[in-house]
């Protein structure tokens, strides 16, 4: 009889312990891999920023380290007389002479919008000057207006491209870092001089204060 009572007591004790373990579950600790991944992503971003700034400083110090390629390019033999600017904001259409500055902008809208993500600093473009509906003042010389958030401090600043020469040079912003070579075959007569490359890129990736801080002004 005593043996049966002992066995019953042990069974009840085991059931109580199992119930307590089921009812009270410890909080799941955050996965170490998740934390490490977040830290790694931040580190990569900082490394990229440092790489770009050091590359710009190095080019300024010695522009000859960058190889410039100037392959031949060919223009269309008989371009049309007019081209159409399709406003990405309102959808309105405005006609311009094909070979004018406005015509060059009209022909680059889709490419520019697709390519903005390749610029190392967040950049947005405003085409409103070229739209007959969105333009605030048709008497002024139209400008392609850019807003960039500084690669270093994140502060926004503006810059413009208001000539065909400047439009031709925009692809320089899609250069990979660190810069070791630049293909200027697409630039025609608007090729940038090696000693101007660091200044050109710095002025469009960093705000004035950060350019001064890093000796790039």
Average pLDDT value for residue range 183-207 = 85
With H, G, I as helix, E, B as strand and everything else as coil, classify residue 83. strand
* Residue numbers of the domain that contains 178: 46-213
171 in a structural domain: yes
3-state secondary structure of 152: coil
- Two tokens, residue 216: 């790039």
Residue 147 lies in a domain: yes
With respect to residue 155, please indicate whether it lies within any of the assigned structural domains.
yes
Q: 144 with 167: CB under 8 angstroms?
A: yes
For the stretch 165-179, pLDDT in tens is 899 899 899 989 999
Does 119 fall in a domain? yes
- Dihedral sign from CA coordinates of 96, 110, 73, 195: positive
Enter the pTM of the model.
0.75
* Residue 190 belongs to a domain: yes
pLDDT recorded at residue 139: 59
Cα atoms found within 13 Å of the Cα of residue 70, Cβ hemisphere only: 9
Q: What is the pLDDT of residue 188?
A: 58
pLDDT the model gives residue 134: 93
Q: Is residue 17 part of a domain?
A: no
Instruction: Write b or e for each residue in 109-138: b if 16 or more Cβ atoms lie within 10 A of its Cβ, otherwise e.
Output: beebeebeeebbbebebbbbbbbeebbeee
pLDDT at 93: 96
Q: How far apart are CA 21 and CA 71, in angstroms?
A: 74
Distance CA 98, CA 79 (A): 7
171 and 161 Cβ atoms separated by less than 8 Å: no
Looking at the 3D structure of the chain, how many domains does it have?
1
pLDDT of residue 21 exceeding 80, the answer is no
**Helices 194-205 and 32-61, interaxial angle, to 10°?**
140
pLDDT, tens digit (0-9, with 9 covering 90-100), for 26-53: 444 444 444 444 443 445 488 899 999 9
Read off the DSSP letter of residue 177: S
CA–CA distance, 54 with 60 (Å, rounded to integer): 10
Contact call for residues 155 and 136 (beta carbons, < 8 A): no
Percent of the chain with pLDDT over 90: 59
Q: What's the mean pLDDT when you consider all of the chain?
A: 81
Give yes or no for residue 189 having a pLDDT over 70.
no
Question: Tens of pLDDT along 145-163?
Answer: 999 999 999 999 999 999 9
2, part of any domain: no
- Helix, strand and coil content of the chain, in percent to the nearest 5, comes to 50, 15, 35
Among the residue ranges 2-6, 69-73, 150-154, 178-182, the one predicted with the least confidence is 2-6
Q: Is the pLDDT of residue 8 over 80?
A: no
Residue 18 has pLDDT above 90, yes or no: no
Residue 106 has pLDDT above 80, yes or no: yes
Q: Cβ(47)–Cβ(160) under 8 Å?
A: no
What residue spans of 134-175 are helical by DSSP H? 164-169
Lowest-pLDDT range of 37-41, 62-66, 97-101, 103-107:
37-41
Considering the domain boundaries, does residue 7 fall inside one? no
């Amino acid at each position: 009889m005593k043996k049966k009572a002992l066995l019953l007591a042990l069974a009840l004790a085991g059931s109580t312990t199992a119930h307590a373990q089921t009812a009270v579950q410890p909080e799941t600790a955050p996965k170490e891999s998740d934390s490490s991944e977040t830290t790694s992503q931040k580190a990569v971003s900082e490394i990229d920023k440092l790489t770009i700034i050091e590359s710009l400083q190095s080019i300024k110090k010695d522009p000859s380290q960058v190889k410039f390629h100037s392959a031949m390019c060919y223009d269309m033999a008989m371009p049309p007389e007019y081209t159409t600017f399709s406003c990405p904001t309102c959808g309105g259409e405005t006609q311009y002479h094909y070979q004018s500055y406005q015509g060059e902008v009209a022909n680059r809208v889709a490419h520019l919008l697709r390519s903005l993500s390749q610029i190392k600093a967040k950049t947005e473009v405003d085409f409103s000057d070229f739209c007959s509906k969105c333009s605030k003042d048709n008497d002024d010389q139209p400008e392609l207006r850019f807003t960039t958030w500084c690669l270093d401090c994140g502060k926004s600043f503006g810059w413009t491209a208001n000539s065909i020469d400047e439009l031709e040079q925009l692809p320089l912003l899609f250069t990979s870092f660190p810069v070791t070579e630049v293909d200027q075959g697409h630039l025609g007569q608007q090729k940038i001089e090696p000693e101007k490359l660091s200044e050109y890129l710095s002025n469009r990736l960093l705000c004035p204060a950060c350019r001064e801080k890093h000796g790039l002004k």
